[in-house]
Structure 1
Amino acid sequence: MARLKGSCRCGRITYSLEGEPTRIGICHCTDCRQESGSAFTFFGVWPASSFSTSGETDVHNGRRFCPTCGSRMFACTDDEAEIKLGTLTDAPTALVPTYELWVKRREKWLSPVEGADQYVEDRRSG
């Protein structure tokens, strides 16, 4: 079973993940671009039971961040934990996106991730 660890930039917030992610994605939507300050967000989703964290985070629109250094960290529901993979301690990782969202907003100079499902907007279930 895989165990991954991560933290904010200042180290006040730490987390660990057990097992494999449910899915790994890249999102090019406006919200993710603005929230990350980059051209896309690289994230992984784990069952909530596989995620643990320590330290006090602050929250804005369901997204948790470190109130000291401002690192954007994760979002959690009762079922899932969505992790900003740039906060993992060890990089690079073996984690590869299996899909991309909002590709209609992908920068023209970025190529699609080979083998990843491409969604014009949101991923549709079923």
Structure 2
Amino acid sequence: MKIDGGCHCGAITYEAEVDPENTGICHCIDCQQLTGTAFRVTVGAPEGQYRITKGAPKVYIKTGSSGAKRAQGFCGECGSHLYATSVGDGPKVYGIRVGTARQREQLVPRRQSWHRSALPWLPEFPGMATKEEQ
């Protein structure tokens, strides 16, 4: 499925080819802190299927508890988070932030990860594949 989108202020836009079945929710503490809310919804796009069409994101490198580094791409003007991807050599998958896609209504989460960090006041999502960690 082809999607396109961008940041809140319009300084950065992108297009991507994604499989909507790979849309997921992450409840990890990093995602909670980086979004300022309870969880993050992401859909993956292989490196060759994701392209910035306008602007240039700022990148923040976050080191997780496992020691793995993740590049967090965001707009330096409005602060919208656009994606996260691995750092270093090897194939990359861009975890596109679903809220930035114009087609967000069609990107329904199918799985959730880091469920052990889910906030206790959230409702359960019945029928969704769930992992307690990643």
Tell me the equivalent position of 1:75.
84
- What TM-score results when the alignment is normalised by the length of structure 2? 0.81
Distance 1:84 1:15 in 2: 11
Tell me the equivalent position of 1:115.
127
Tell me the equivalent position of 1:40.
39
Amino-acid identity (%): 33
Question: What is the total number of aligned residue pairs between the two structures?
Answer: 120
List aligned pairs for 1:96-111, cutoff 5 A. 96-111=108-123
SS at match of 2:52: strand
- What TM-score results when the alignment is normalised by the length of structure 1? 0.85
The one-letter code of the counterpart of 1:70 is G
Dislocated runs of 4+, deviation >3 Å: none
CA contact (8 A) 2:2 2:16 kept: yes
Rate the CA distance shift 1:38–1:94 in 2: closer, same or farther, 3 A: same
> What's the offset of the Cα at 1:23?
1.7
Distance 2:47 2:124 in 1: 29
Per-residue CA shift, 1:25-67, capped at 9, x if unaligned?
1111110000000000011111211111131110111100001
Q: Structure 1: give runs of 5+ residues left out of the alignment.
A: none
Distance 1:98 1:42 in 2: 10
Distance 1:45 1:22 in 2: 10
List aligned pairs for 1:48-87, cutoff 5 A. 48-54=47-53, 55-61=55-61, 62-77=71-86, 78-87=91-100
Q: Structure 2: give runs of 5+ residues left out of the alignment.
A: 62-70
CA contact (8 A) 2:19 2:44 kept: no
> What's the offset of the Cα at 1:20?
2.1
